[in-house]
Amino acid sequence: MIKSNYIELLDSYEVVSKLRKEFWSEIVINYSKDNRYYHTLQHLQDLYDQLVLVKDKIENWNVVLFTLYYHDIIYKSTRKDNEEKSAKFASKRMTEIGMKEDNIKLCFDQIIATKSHKYNLNKDTNYFTDADLSILGREPDSYKTYCQNIRNEYSIYPKFLYNRGRKKVINHFLSMNRIFKTQTFYNKFERQARLNLNEELNILG
């Protein structure tokens, strides 16, 4: 489904067939790399499934879709500039197909927003970052699978270093007044997310 949705998205900008294939191929290649266990094509599908439920609340659906496809296209667990590199990658592709500058900037800013997941003045950005965090509020078994996948992506780090970094991430979210900024996602995931995060924190010690 995410392939057909991506092709339809490019078709709306009259992108030639050759570029459509090239652009989709590079998405598949990047999200299917051996070092990825969570930030995969399945993650994109899950994001889409969450966002389509609130499509009527989103003002610029096409920009949110571009954000979806490109927000993790560059991902290395050893780097801290993945969001910046992904945002630049997205901007380049959007420029190539002739998107308006303000939409390119919006996509860029939305990708950067996934670095901190803080409240944003742009409503669409809040819906996107909430969808990106929705895994935190899933049922315990799904959350455990997510935790294991994240650990696998950071397998290069020994346990004591990983646990220290992971606890920092967890405490970042738990310190927020609201993890989920939109009322829809807050009502659906906030309570379970805090339960899951606290449980993981206890396990990490």
pLDDT at 1: 86
Class of domain 2-204: mainly alpha
Domain coordinates in residue numbering, the chain? 2-204
pLDDT at 58: 98
CB 190 within 8 A of CB 135: no
Residue 41, C-beta contacts closer than 8 angstroms, at least 6 positions apart: 2, 27, 28, 31, 32
Phi-psi region of 117 (alpha: psi -120 to 50; beta: other; left: phi over 0): left
Q: Enter the tokens of residue 137.
A: 């509020």
Q: Enter the tokens of residue 195.
A: 């339960």
For the chain, which ranges sit under pLDDT 50?
none
pLDDT at 24: 98
